[in-house]
Amino acid sequence: MIFRDAAFQQCINPNCQQQFGVEQVLTACTECGSLLDVKYDWNAAGTPTDWSYYQGKWARRADRLNFSGIWRFHELLPFALPEHVVTVGEGQTLLQQADFVSEFVGLDSGNLFLQYEGMNPSGSFKDNGMSAAFTHAHSIGAKRAACASTGNTSASLAMYCAVSQLMKAVIFIGSGKISYGKLSQALEYGALTVQITGDFDDAMQRVQEVSKELGIYLVNSINPFRLEGQKSIMFRVLEGLGWEVPDWIVVPGGNLGNSSSFGKAFMELKELGLIDRVPRLAIINAAGADTLHELYENRGVSWNDGNIDRSVLQNYYDELDAANKKASTIASAIEINRPVNFDKCLRALDFCDGVVRTATDQQMLDAKAKVGSGGIGCEPASAASVAGAKMLREQGVIAPSDRVVCILTGHQLKDPTATVAYHTTDQDKFNEVLGVRGVSRASYANRAVAVPNSLDEIIRVINLYG
Ligand SMILES: *Cc1c(COP(=O)(O)O)cnc(C)c1O
Ligand SMILES: [Zn+2]
């Protein structure tokens, strides 16, 4: 097996297609400024085109690469030598048939699946991408790595730095825009945490300037190697379905790295003959951070063979600036107005015949409570996928007989504040945390019952409600 020699980077702009070596550290094409893909010569890599080869690796999981949910698909992302791979056993995640929410979504029983990426070591899907980007950083000898983050990217980067002791993490966060679950991870794992006045979009811009200036390795999803790792989420979904292709993949959209990488995964699997058809892709924005939805569904911006109408995009961003409109949602992980992977995401929507919808904070929190009632705790942004699937069912875009996979991107314990406020008996707390977000009811609240400290009273309450 030849790793790395078979890989290169290539500009995604079909009118440019400039190529670069995998040893180069770039976040954009030096010719035209477009995003980059990691590409492969599959023949040179000797990539097997039979799923049983990948399935067989689990039996040999004493090898740390085979144990990882990413690297047991190494031949489908063959850019790194095995000795450079940095893994902490990420990607042991479940595709869960979720009959307990299928009725809520409006699907026939047995047709809704949840891909629970909150089960990753740092509690979000970001570990899939981070292991890959970190591996690339390690292979080129980087000593410091940086990211801007709404929380999960920084938690993941801090974890890989701390576990491997190979690099120092430098993270940029906006002021007041990070949940305590996520911030606590970055601090405890020893990351240099830079809190700037501004929001994620501001932090994202700064981290790019700083990384360039100081030569720090950037691990945001603008980094093409990160998206290689995230393809494995789709490999595991297929594995969970016995290598059958579902009808729909539904995913929350923030910086649009995940949706972009899913599109790339399906392009490559189709090219390799590992799948014979492609699922449709549904990307769900928060209603308060809906750039993709506005541009794709309302203003008609599309991939258009790589000739994206930039004037519409620019007008929209100018409008946001003129109105001083900032992204605003309780789903902090997708509170992003200027998604860096916009172009790649349009390509994915084009390839997967995709649709984009928005979910309000109310819809996300109600969906989150439904998901949680089945014992699969997720954070608010993750529930956008389930809220979106429900909406697409109601609109008749998804049929009751369709097989639907919703990606649960992050763990419930990332953001307990939102969860407790939703279920709380304390109306003041509810109003303080959720009312300001336009959330008016907790449709599926499981309220704590206040009881005097008396055995009789306690027994009475348990008999009444239990
Ligand atoms: C990062 C993140 C997202 C958004 O994913 P993108 O790839 O940026 O679109 C959604 N949910 C959670 C929990 C996240 O951490
Ligand atoms: Zn280019």
How high is the pLDDT of residue 429?
A: 87
The whole-angstrom separation of Cα 252 and Cα 83 is: 34
pTM: predicted TM-score of the whole model, two decimal places: 0.97
How high is the pLDDT of residue 2?
A: 45
The whole-angstrom separation of Cα 349 and Cα 355 is: 7
Question: Any idea what the Cα angle at residue 135 is, between residues 172 and 238, rounded to 5°?
Answer: 100
The whole-angstrom separation of Cα 325 and Cα 175 is: 17
Q: What is the mean pLDDT of residues 273-284?
A: 98
Please tell me if the CB atom of residue 381 comes closer than 6 angstroms to any atom of ligand 1. Answer: yes
Higher-pLDDT residue of 412 and 1 is 412
Spatial CA neighbour of 34 closest among 272, 310, 430: 310
The whole-angstrom separation of Cα 406 and Cα 383 is: 9
328, amino acid identity: S
Please tell me if the CB atom of residue 341 comes closer than 6 angstroms to any atom of ligand 1. Answer: no
Question: Any idea what the Cα angle at residue 91 is, between residues 335 and 38, rounded to 5°?
Answer: 75
From the candidate CATH numbers 3.60.15.10, 2.40.50.140, 3.40.50.1100, 3.30.420.40, the one assigned to the domain spanning 94-122+226-418: 3.40.50.1100
Q: pLDDT above 90 covers what percent of the chain?
A: 91
Please tell me if the CB atom of residue 254 comes closer than 6 angstroms to any atom of ligand 1. Answer: yes
Gap from CA of 40 to ligand 1 centroid (Å): 26
Gap from CA of 433 to ligand 2 centroid (Å): 45
Higher-pLDDT residue of 97 and 202 is 97
With contact defined as beta carbons under 8 Å apart, do 173 and 195 qualify? yes
Helices (H) and strands (E) in the chain, counts: 18, 13
Q: Strands 94-97 and 112-116, how do they pair?
A: antiparallel
Q: What is the mean pLDDT of residues 241-264?
A: 98
Question: To test the ligand 1 pocket, which listed residue (221, 230, 258) has its Cβ within 8 A of the most ligand atoms?
Answer: 258
Please tell me if the CB atom of residue 380 comes closer than 6 angstroms to any atom of ligand 1. Answer: no
How high is the pLDDT of residue 178?
A: 81
The whole-angstrom separation of Cα 257 and Cα 292 is: 13
Q: What is the mean pLDDT of residues 51-69?
A: 95
Give residue-wise pLDDT tens across range 87-122. 999 999 989 999 999 999 999 999 999 999 999 999
Cα 190 to Cα 15, 84, 141, 160, 279, distances in angstroms:
44, 23, 20, 11, 41
| DSSP letter (8 states) at residue 85 | -
Find the DSSP H helices in 106-146.
126-139
Residue 4's pLDDT band (cuts 50, 70, 90)? low
Give residue-wise pLDDT tens across range 176-190. 668 889 999 999 999
Question: Nearest ligand to the C-alpha of residue 28?
Answer: 2
Please tell me if the CB atom of residue 258 comes closer than 6 angstroms to any atom of ligand 1. Answer: yes
Give residue-wise pLDDT tens across range 352-405. 999 999 999 999 999 999 999 999 999 999 999 999 999 999 999 999 999 999
